[in-house]
Amino acid sequence: MTDDVPVLHVDTALIVVDKPAGLLAVPGRGEHLQDCAATRIQARFADARVVHRLDQATSGLMIFARGPAAQRSLSLAFEERRVAKRYTAVVNGRVLDDEGSVDLPLACDWPNRPRQQVDHEHGKPAQTHWRVVSRDVLSGTTRLELQPRTGRSHQLRVHLMAIGHPIVGDSLYAPGFAATRLMLHACALTIPHPVAAQSMNFSSAAPF
């Protein structure tokens, strides 16, 4: 089972994996939702603890801490925004500008959970910077590099939908555009090591 979750790095404090699209990051509610990246990795590394999550439909880099002390250190790094994340996405439409930022507060759309929505009255601050990597005229899509400044649930998906360029394959926010998967991949991560006094850089090429 763990063969389905490639392990990219292991040391005494952390584990870095490349989560495949379609696999839950952590267990859901009910017996049928217990299979996930966390349980598969914990079957191999008993001290592995969850630090952050990726959406089930999103693939890419995910970090686990080894033991409670490392978990506290890594969780604090995420909370204090000392972690740099970068994603690759393919979005619908031709994005005209070469780069830009989205600054729109987000909140849960309670009647339609797990959907999130832009909410200027009750939403929490959320910022995403984007940069065009390439444009595909034939398919009418644009490949973007995304750098979230905050880590709200579904942030990248909602922000891109809000500017008129939903991610290809997003069945939750853009069901009219068919694709084999959500074209969103966590491709780069820089994080302070919880023990060694250095930054660790990890990368994973997008599989699309």
Mean pLDDT by 10 residues, the chain (208 residues): 81 98 92 91 97 96 98 96 97 97 97 95 98 97 97 97 96 86 98 93 98
pLDDT per residue over 149-195, tens digit each? 999 999 999 999 999 999 999 999 998 777 899 999 999 999 999 99
The structural domains of the chain, with segments of one domain joined by +, span 2-82, 86-184
pLDDT at 3: 52
The domains spanning 2-82 and 86-184 adopt the same CATH topology: yes
Burial class (CB in 10 A: 0-12, 13-18, 19+), 135: middle
Per the annotation, the verdict on 97 as an active-site residue is no
The token pair that represents 126 in the structure block: 């959320």
Architecture of domain 2-82: 2-Layer Sandwich (3.30)
Query: One of 55, 97, 98, 103 is an active-site residue; which one?
Result: 55
Distances (CA, A) of 76 to 52, 63, 79, 135, 151: 11, 13, 5, 37, 13
Q: Distance between CA 111 and CA 4 in Å, rounded?
A: 34
pLDDT at 1: 43
pLDDT at 125: 98
Architecture of domain 86-184: 2-Layer Sandwich (3.30)
Q: What is the pTM of this model?
A: 0.94
Residue 80 has a CB neighbour count (10 Å cut-off) of: 9
